[in-house]
Amino acid sequence: MAAATLLHSVMASGADLDSALTQNEAYDRLEGADRGLARAIASNALRALGRIDGGLAQLIDRPLDQVEAPVLAVLRAGVAQIWMQQTAPYAAVSATVEAARRWRPASRGGKLVNAVLRRASERPEVFTDLDPTTIWPDWLANRYRAALGPDGATALAEVQLREPPVDLTLKPRINAEDFAAEIEGEVLANGSVRLKAGRLLSDLPGYAAGDWWVQDAGATQAARVLGEISGKRVLDLCAAPGGKAMQLAAAGAQVTALDISRQRLDVLRANVERTGLRMEITEGDARTWRPDQKVDAVLLDAPCSAMGVLRRHPEAAWRRDPASLSKYPRTQRALLDAAGEMLQPGGTLIYCVCTPFSGEGRDVVEGALNSGPWKRSPIRPDEVPGFVNALTPEGDLLTAPVARDSIASAPTQNAADAIDSDVFFVSRLEYAPI
Ligand SMILES: C[S@@+](CC[C@H](N)C(=O)[O-])C[C@H]1O[C@@H](n2cnc3c(N)ncnc32)[C@H](O)[C@@H]1O
């Protein structure tokens, strides 16, 4: 019941799962492993939502939008157990029917849930045979196909069904091999350390000392391709919550971290305090704010649709529509132009977004190259260990999740050069006014 009410509030109120977890009475009453189970059921249902609904539509004799929303939430929670978690069908069916009866005693939901989940356990192929990209709304699946090709979109969908990895970025003075051995983690080719599932972050060594912070391996590349920046003046224009700014400061740069959001800057401040790194922190709108002095480098991690990190927030797929995405390119271009006014001639701009859609990535960069004082400074393979396969012909980087099994079945692909990560587009430009 906790899982179903979580799902219901995420879908009905537009809350994300993390905030729904803090406000759910049924979930609150649970302890230990039960809490983990309720969360896993809700999270799995959200990961596969469109595909679960596609299967349910074949098992119910009326359109899904005519099923009461709470009953639909219970059904989705039931299917997540039967199909995705391989819970014994009798256990999943009886517990889920019980939840429907208790939650909505007056409705006939219990009967429907019982009948449909029995069918679901007898006919798992209604879910397994569906195209993996049906997990998303159709328009979004089409956009992924356009951006990544049909195989890339399918791989992205398959990876979204699994819990994403958790990676740590270590301060440069920490020895990655020793640290990884201590926590039984894995050192990735880019230097990040990947945790084993289920480790509690605050229990790891070095947490209080601020020796590391959580950051997806792909997210580290934007700051990395700035190269040697010790002593240089670097502006991070969209800095909160601070993963990339902390990398820059840890590499010895004189960092100014700017962000428009006071709330997000509070999180950045807490992160910076824990890690003991030094930087100047400023609230402002990068389109109009200007530094006292022009700087050597700017990192612009622009606001974007974030459609490359859906495996961490799958519910976001159902909050967006094409119109809500159309506003980004104009803001991104305005921020990129503003960055030019802050750089010294010959200075470097890193432009980065966490989406695979070229309208927010490559096209914004090409637009600036065609009409502004910029030169592309292609990223070289030797600069991006672990992400060589993610380099585009133009010398930009487009990282993406990689299914481990796909590496094993493609012997030409070097596993060390294909780190499984979130989607990041990174381009490096030189400011070259005439
Ligand atoms: C992708 S997030 C940045 C993540 C951050 N770089 C990191 O690595 O942790 C984008 C940020 O841009 C900020 N932002 C959006 N519009 C802005 C603007 N006009 N000026 C400055 N910051 C802005 C948002 O508040 C948000 O924190």
pLDDT at 413 over 90: no
Question: Can you tell me which atom of ligand 1 is nearest the CA of 287?
Answer: 19
Pocket flag, ligand 1, residue 238 (CB < 6 Å): yes
Residues 289 and 393 in one domain: yes
pLDDT at 173: 93
Which of residues 200 and 283 earns the better pLDDT score?
Answer: 283
Residues 392 and 252 in one domain: yes
155 belongs to a structural domain: no
Pocket flag, ligand 1, residue 309 (CB < 6 Å): no
Q: Which domain holds residue 7?
A: 2-130
Across all residues in the chain, what is the average pLDDT? 93
pLDDT at 409: 46
- Distance of CA 345 from the midpoint of ligand 1 (Å): 24
pLDDT at 415: 59
The residue whose CB lies within 8 Å of the most ligand 1 atoms, and thus the one to mutate among 237, 258, 260, is 260
pLDDT at 403: 67
Residues 284 and 398 in one domain: yes
Structural domain ending residue among the three candidates 73, 97, 130: 130
pLDDT digits (tens, 9 = 90+) for 330-344: 999 999 999 999 999
Q: For the chain, give the percent of residues with pLDDT over 70.
A: 96
pLDDT at 265: 98
175 belongs to a structural domain: no
pLDDT at 278: 96
pLDDT at 133 over 70: yes
- Distance of CA 259 from the midpoint of ligand 1 (Å): 6
Pocket flag, ligand 1, residue 385 (CB < 6 Å): no
Residues 370-375, mean pLDDT to the nearest whole number: 95
- Distance of CA 149 from the midpoint of ligand 1 (Å): 29
pLDDT digits (tens, 9 = 90+) for 260-316: 999 999 999 999 999 999 999 999 999 999 999 999 999 999 999 999 999 999 999
Residues 201-223, mean pLDDT to the nearest whole number: 94
pLDDT at 181 over 50: yes
Catalytic sites, residue numbers: 354
Residues 238 and 380 in one domain: yes
Of 22-36, 127-141, 355-369, 410-424, the poorest mean pLDDT is in 410-424
Q: How many domains does the chain have?
A: 2
266 belongs to a structural domain: yes
137 belongs to a structural domain: no
pLDDT at 405: 55
Residues 5-31, mean pLDDT to the nearest whole number: 92
395 alpha carbon, distance to own chain's centre: 23
pLDDT at 298: 98
